[in-house]
Amino acid sequence: MSQTPYAVTNDQQQPPKDNTLKIVLIVLGIVILAVMLVCGGIMAAGYFAVARVADEFQDAFSGGFAREYLEAPEAKEALGNILDTSFVMDMDEDEEDASGNLEIRVTGSKASGTLIIGSDEEGNELVQLVMDDGRIIDLPQPEYEDFEELDFDTEAMEIEEVEMDVTPGGN
């Protein structure tokens, strides 16, 4: 009964398992997941910020801005009560006939059309309402207050002069 030294294996003689690769892969996976979540959050925030700015832009141009022109009796007669306005954003800069006019789609209780605000060849402001039935209605420009006619009491405004020392190290 002779025994060779290699015949019996002892549990204490086995080398310990190396878990370094497993730990590195788990940490790397967690880091990649965190980076993806941060990038996704930034993209979502950017999307909602751009959407909000676009909505504000749409409301500013198609709502309040267009209403000044649509208060004209000619527009009220053709459209009726204004139900909806929307800014037309399908202008292609590549087109040769791109005029640079501002186009606002208008829906009224009687009819619908497109409000076109731009300028003619001489640089005068041109405002037209192009109805869906093909009629073109020239609208008058709204009454703007002349800035020079506004009465500012400049003496009541107090403007202070502030002296600043701009020399390096000067206080």
The pLDDT-based confidence of 71 (bands split at 50, 70, 90) is confident
Mean pLDDT of 73-89: 82
Higher pLDDT, 31 or 158: 31
Q: What pLDDT does 9 receive?
A: 59
Q: How far is CA 148 from the centre of its chain?
A: 34
Q: Do the Cβ atoms of 119 and 125 come closer than 8 Å?
A: yes
The pLDDT-based confidence of 90 (bands split at 50, 70, 90) is low
| Whole-prediction pTM | 0.48
Q: What are phi and psi of 32, to 5 degrees?
A: -65, -40
The pLDDT-based confidence of 147 (bands split at 50, 70, 90) is very low
The pLDDT-based confidence of 25 (bands split at 50, 70, 90) is very high
Length of the chain: 171
Mean pLDDT of 92-104: 64
DSSP per-residue string spanning 146-167? PGGGS---TTTS---------S
Q: Do the Cβ atoms of 102 and 118 come closer than 8 Å?
A: yes
Start-to-end CA distance of the chain, whole Å, equals: 99
Which residue type sits at 110? K
Distances in whole angstroms, Cα of residue 111 to Cα of each of 8, 73, 98: 99, 15, 26
Higher pLDDT, 108 or 66: 108
Highest mean predicted confidence (pLDDT) among 25-29, 104-108, 143-147, 160-164: 25-29
What pairs with residue 108 in β-bridges? 82
Higher pLDDT, 144 or 16: 16
Mean pLDDT of 132-158: 66
